[in-house]
Amino acid sequence: MKSGFFITFEGIEGCGKSTQLKLTARWLEEHSYAVCCTREPGGTDIGSHIRKLLLSENSNGLAPLSEAFLYMADRFQHIQDVIRPALGQGQIVLCDRYHDSTIAYQGYARKIPLDLLDAIWNRSGAALEPDLTILLDLDPAEGIERSLKKLAAQQVDESRFEKEALQFHMDVRNGFLILAKQSPHRIRIVNAEGSIDSVHGQLIELLKEWLKEAGQ
């Protein structure tokens, strides 16, 4: 059995994380890896209820700290119920958003002190760092336009963040880029401006190199 790895997909709204995660999962399965695809928020039964509260347009009054704590509650449940068990079975876990999103959105954009978020995470006893994070980088204006079109087509009530001011999304992007500079060994940036196929090509070349480095 090939070893399990934890790979997260990050980026602003509309950057193509979900699409690229699915394509990556297909590629890995074609190369004989066991894959577990999941997401945050909502990767567990409990998390699905938290997701509705966090992403619905009807939750506009949610305080920044409440928002952050709900995301982290979802994450700790997710680690316990899904991520650690899958890794223990030797699977490659692909996760659509993870802790970097909390730092970027609630830390850099909502202005919650980073040391508070770090303290909760690091002292929890449950924190788990990804082996690799793929950051899909995109201009925020383009990302919001893409995301709103997708949500409208799917008729899904998950547009609370899309309705934020453009500056909010610029702060989120900046937060992700700062995190990438701080952890270049873990966070690899992929330009998400091109077509789905061109972005996928970039991502797979990156993944091939990373798997080779990891002895896989």
**Mean model confidence pLDDT for the chain:** 93
Model confidence pLDDT, tens digit, residues 86-112: 999 999 999 999 999 999 999 999 999
Q: What is the mean pLDDT of residues 186-202?
A: 96
Q: What is the mean pLDDT of residues 145-156?
A: 82
Q: Which of 75-79, 140-144, 167-171 has the lowest mean pLDDT?
A: 140-144
Please confirm whether the linkage preceding 41 is cis (ω < 30° from 0).
Answer: yes
Q: Is the pLDDT of residue 151 over 60?
A: yes
Token pair recorded at residue 29: 């399965």
Q: What is the mean pLDDT of residues 161-183?
A: 94
Q: Is the pLDDT of residue 140 over 90?
A: yes
**Residue-level pLDDT at 1:** 43
Q: Is the pLDDT of residue 41 over 90?
A: yes
Q: What is the mean pLDDT of residues 8-25?
A: 96
**Residue-level pLDDT at 56:** 87
Beta strand segments in 48-203, E: 92-96, 132-137, 187-191
Token pair recorded at residue 36: 């577990």
**Residue-level pLDDT at 3:** 59
Query: What CATH number does residue 195 fall under?
Result: 3.40.50.300
User: How many domains is the chain built from?
Assistant: 1
Q: What is the DSSP code (8-state) at residue 157? A: S
Q: Is the sign of the CA dihedral 74, 14, 131, 216 positive or negative?
A: positive
Q: Which domain range does residue 27 map to?
A: 5-213
- The pairing of strands 132-137 and 187-191 is parallel
